[in-house]
Amino acid sequence: MPRYYRKPDAMWREEEASKNLVMKGFEMGEDVAEIGTSIVLSSGKMHALNVLGTEVWKLCDGKTGEEMVSILSDGFDVEREVLERDVKAFLKDLKELGLIYEE
Amino acid sequence: MKNEWMPSAPVTVNWAITNRCNFRCRHCYSRTDTNEELSFGELCSILAKLGSAKVFSVNFGGGEPLMRGEIFDLAAKASGLGLAVSMNSNGFLIDRATARRLKEAGFQKVGVSLDSAVPEVHDEFRGVKGCHGRAAEALRYLKEAGIETSISSVICRINVEDIEGLIGQALSLGAGSLNFHNFKCSGLGFVNKDSLDLSPREWREFYVFAVEQREKIKDLHISLEDPIIASLGQGNSDSLVRGSVCGKLSLNIKANGDVTPCGFIPIVIGNLCKDDLMELWSNSPVLEAMRNKTPRGKCLNCGHYSDCLGGCTARALALTGDINNPDPHCWME
Ligand code: SF4
């Protein structure tokens, strides 16, 4: 089972204003998937991650995908299967973008 | 047109810590600027504001930033706050020992200006005999000290015929990147624009060639940060915003703490000695106008507007007086 790590050269920050917007959106039942709640800068390229992407990113400190799903299932009101699929897809994207590595 | 998403604070801040300079460049935007300088304490308190806003990087400039001896201490403080630190310099004052000191102070990247591969042409343009050789040496020392280097070249009449020479020079000096800057028409650039600036047709020819080279040459990152190249099908995929990045991802601080959207736009939106950075970033009507430009003239019917957003705002303002007008360098009919 691979463990995921953020690339050490990556600079990142959470976007508080966008996070608040997402929280409001959640309450209103709106689609918030397109709102970036964090920015990652790595190798001269900048990326905006949405709310789930941000949470996955924050957990890339040596956790496995399964551990991430267990932690996130407390905070996100979605079926475990859906969450598993989304987390897997995010990890794949982050890896393809060169933002994380696995060991 | 509204940018769909805006970061909650600047990502990069360009900071002219002094306007003093040992050069006399014909295109300089800061010669006509303030000579006022902040104390080291004031510089540190501005730095703290950048740190708490979680700005990623600070790029020192000027004037010549090395004319201010505290640059080393300031950079060390900035990197202590987690900021990535870089600088644009003319290279004249960078010897081997200075390059090492810059590394120790935390500089990750230093850009050196070299506008021609022909030493006499560069020396004449920058107004100091022998400065080409010194800049080339500086680049070698910086590399040796373990600092990533880039070369900045302002494209204008003196070098547009020898872009290959500039590329060859960057490769032979081992620079990581070569930044081709468009000619801005601010400060002395405005005064000397008739003898230095290119026509829209010439800008197009230059960009077509530069884009080709960028695709061809793999050992050098060629950067062309000009929104009008959207019309050549070259959107900036590395950026999170469209059009120019000024006031959307970056801000500029002047030697006296005044804040402007970029170094080439002389509109002061506040002063960081007294104002809150986040407040300026979120509520400045000037930034708001730059982020939500209204197409005018030929931009109204241009299919590239959603990527280009009318091109370089600084140039439109300097030459037409209105940020919403099409970039005067634009070649579209
Ligand atoms: S017409 Fe306007 S939008 Fe179109 S490429 Fe020129 S400056 Fe950009």
Residue A38 contacts residue A14 (beta carbons within 8 Å): yes
pLDDT tens figures, B56-114: 999 999 888 998 999 999 999 999 999 999 999 999 889 999 999 999 999 999 999 99
- The DSSP element (H or E) to which A101 belongs, if any, is strand A100-102
Half-sphere exposure of B60 (CA within 13 A, CB side): 34
DSSP designation for B2: B
pLDDT at residue B187, as a whole number: 62
pLDDT tens figures, B120-136: 998 888 887 888 999 99
pLDDT at residue B236, as a whole number: 64
With 80 as the cut, is the pLDDT of residue B28 above it? no
With 50 as the cut, is the pLDDT of residue A96 above it? yes
The C-alpha of B109 sits at a distance from chain A's nearest C-alpha, in angstroms, of 12
Question: What is the distance between the alpha carbons of residues B81 and B48, in angstroms, rounded to a whole number?
Answer: 8
Residue B22 contacts residue B128 (beta carbons within 8 Å): yes
pLDDT tens figures, B166-219: 999 999 999 999 999 987 766 665 666 777 889 999 999 999 999 999 999 989
Which residue among B302, B329, B333 is best mutated to probe the pocket of ligand 1, counting the most ligand atoms within 8 A of its Cβ? Answer: B302
* Confidence at B42, pLDDT banded by 50, 70, 90: very high
**Predicted model pTM:** 0.89
B307 Cα–ligand 1 center, Å: 9
pLDDT at residue B105, as a whole number: 97
Question: What is the distance between the alpha carbons of residues B236 and B242, in angstroms, rounded to a whole number?
Answer: 8
pLDDT tens figures, A12-55: 999 988 888 888 877 777 777 778 899 999 887 889 999 889 99
Asked if omega into B61 is within 30° of 0 (cis), the reply is: no
B231 Cα–ligand 1 center, Å: 7
Which residue among B226, B228, B309, B322 is best mutated to probe the pocket of ligand 1, counting the most ligand atoms within 8 A of its Cβ? Answer: B228
What would the DSSP string read from start to end of A54-84? HHHHHHTEEEEHHHHHHHHHHHS-S-HHHHH
B329 Cα–ligand 1 center, Å: 9
The verdict on the CB of residue B311 being under 6 Å from ligand 1 is: yes
pLDDT at residue A26, as a whole number: 75
With 70 as the cut, is the pLDDT of residue B34 above it? no
* Confidence at B32, pLDDT banded by 50, 70, 90: low
User: Nearest CA to B148 among A38, A94, A66, A9?
Assistant: A9
ipTM over 0.85: no
pLDDT tens figures, B259-310: 999 998 999 999 999 999 999 999 999 999 999 999 999 999 999 999 999 9
Contact call for B5 and A17, based on CB within 8 A: no
- The residue-averaged pLDDT of B235-263 equals 87
User: Nearest CA to B206 among B153, B163, B151, B244?
Assistant: B163
pLDDT at residue B2, as a whole number: 44
DSSP designation for B182: P
pLDDT at residue B272, as a whole number: 97
pLDDT at residue B283, as a whole number: 95
- The residue-averaged pLDDT of B230-246 equals 80
- The conformational region for residue B182 under phi > 0 = left, psi -120 to 50 = alpha, else beta, is beta
